[in-house]
Structures are given as structure tokens and as C-alpha cells.
């Protein structure tokens, strides 16, 4: 009998509760941050000097990987990497075997692979290529010697670069960075 009396009391308390979920009063859509997409009217060709340097190295299968505007995170010493979002690549430069290697982990760290990077026609460096998940996107990152390369080339945020890939000596992956300046 005692239970029957308590049920109506609970219902009375529920009916007295005046807190309701707020519904938006305006029909205006919520604003999202717009990301400025850089459109390039034309893709400049690689300079003859850089192309000759690649040929001297025995390079073949030259492809444009990405043309991008350098971001602050790309030149930050704390970040120490150039990010190459996979969904923005014009050409996926890794083989299936290289993709498998880059997906492997060792003690919670992604494995990487060393690639030859040429820049400013005569300069060359060994740089580490890794694959990370940044946000919800898979991204290739060039690391290890990246800060040194930024310093040597005086790379600045807002400048535009091209990254080209090529193969040498039985399919060794190599990269070439071409600085386009500010567009």
C-alpha cells in the first residue's frame, strides 16, 4: 500500500520540473570555420636545373606529389615536420610495400623510412618519411632533418612549394623540393 502512494508523488515532482531542453530560436544555420582552399591556376614545371640534377642521380619516373602553401606548423621548430595530407596529394608516391612499412608500429611509434631529399638544385639530405594520423586524416610527414632544411632554404610561412618524387637505383624513393615563393 505504501508503494501506491509514492508513485503519484514522483509524477507530481516530474510535472513541477520546469527545466526544458533549449531549442534554437533562430533558423540561421550554425557557422563553421571556413578553410581557405588554395587553387593554382597552373602548375609550374620543374626547373631545368633540378630536372638535370635528378637525371644525374639516375632518377626516373618523376611525378609532382603536391603543391602547397607552407603553413606555420610546417616551419615550426617544435613541430619539426612538413605535413603532406594524403587526401591532397596529386600523386601517391609510395608503393604497396612502402605503405605497409609506414603503417607498422614499433613500441607505439610509427616506423619511418629514410628518403633522399634534394633541394636548391645542389643540396641533398636524408630525411625520414612517416605516416601519421592528424585529426581524422592520414598524413605523410617529412621529419628528422626538416628543421635544418627549413633553415638552409629560409622557408617562410605563406610561401608555396612543390614536392616531386622520383625513383633511382632499383626503385629507391627520392624527393625533390622546389620553392616557388609567394603567390
pLDDT at 16 > cutoff 80 = no
pLDDT for res 109: 78
Q: What is the pLDDT of residues 124-159, one digit of tens each?
A: 999 999 998 888 888 999 998 999 999 999 999 999
pTM beyond 0.75:
no
DSSP letters for 145-170: SHHHHHHHHT--TT-EEEEEEEEETT
Q: Is residue 67 one of the residues assigned to a domain?
A: yes
C-alpha–C-alpha distance, residues 147 and 102, integer Å = 21
pLDDT for res 4: 54
Q: Is residue 50 one of the residues assigned to a domain?
A: no
At 3, the pLDDT band (50, 70, 90 cuts) reads low
| C-beta of residue 140 within 8 angstroms of C-beta of residue 130 | yes
Q: Is residue 21 one of the residues assigned to a domain?
A: no
Left, alpha or beta for 154 (phi > 0: left; psi -120 to 50: alpha)?
Answer: left
| Length of the chain in terms of residues written | 183
Rg (CA), the chain: 26
- Identity of the highest mean pLDDT range in 8-12, 23-27, 120-124: 120-124
CATH assignment of the domain containing 72: 2.40.330.10
pLDDT at 14 > cutoff 90 = no
pLDDT for res 124: 92
Query: Residue 167: CB partners within 8 Å, gap ≥ 6?
Result: 59, 60, 61, 173, 174
Q: What is the pLDDT of residues 98-107, one digit of tens each?
A: 999 888 877 7
| C-beta of residue 86 within 8 angstroms of C-beta of residue 142 | no
Q: Is residue 47 one of the residues assigned to a domain?
A: no
Q: Is residue 129 one of the residues assigned to a domain?
A: yes
Q: Is residue 74 one of the residues assigned to a domain?
A: yes
Q: Where is pLDDT greater, at 171 or 157?
A: 157
Boundaries of domain holding 165: 60-181
Q: Is residue 132 one of the residues assigned to a domain?
A: yes
Q: Domain count for the chain, please give it.
A: 1
Q: What is the pLDDT of residues 27-85, one digit of tens each?
A: 555 554 444 455 555 677 888 889 999 999 999 999 999 999 999 999 999 999 999 99
Q: Is residue 75 one of the residues assigned to a domain?
A: yes
Amino acid at each position: 500500500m505504501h508503494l501506491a502512494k509514492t508513485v503519484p508523488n514522483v509524477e507530481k515532482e516530474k510535472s513541477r520540473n520546469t527545466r526544458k531542453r533549449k531549442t534554437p530560436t533562430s533558423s540561421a544555420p550554425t557557422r563553421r570555420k571556413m578553410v581557405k582552399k588554395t587553387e593554382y591556376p597552373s602548375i609550374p614545371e620543374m626547373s631545368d636545373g633540378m630536372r638535370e640534377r635528378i637525371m644525374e642521380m639516375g632518377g626516373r619516373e618523376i611525378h609532382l606529389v603536391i603543391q602547397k602553401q607552407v603553413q606555420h606548423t610546417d616551419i615550426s621548430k617544435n613541430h619539426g615536420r612538413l605535413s603532406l595530407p594524403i587526401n591532397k596529394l596529386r600523386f601517391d608516391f609510395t608503393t604497396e610495400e612502402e605503405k605497409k612499412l609506414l603503417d607498422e608500429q614499433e613500441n607505439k611509434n610509427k616506423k619511418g623510412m629514410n628518403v633522399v631529399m634534394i633541394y636548391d638544385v645542389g643540396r641533398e639530405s636524408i630525411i625520414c618519411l612517416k605516416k601519421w594520423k592528424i585529426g581524422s586524416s592520414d598524413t605523410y610527414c617529412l621529419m628528422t632533418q626538416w628543421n635544418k632544411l627549413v633553415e638552409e632554404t629560409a622557408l617562410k610561412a605563406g610561401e608555396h612549394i612543390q614536392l616531386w618524387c622520383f625513383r633511382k637505383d632499383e626503385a629507391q624513393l627520392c624527393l625533390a623540393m622546389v620553392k616557388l615563393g609567394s603567390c
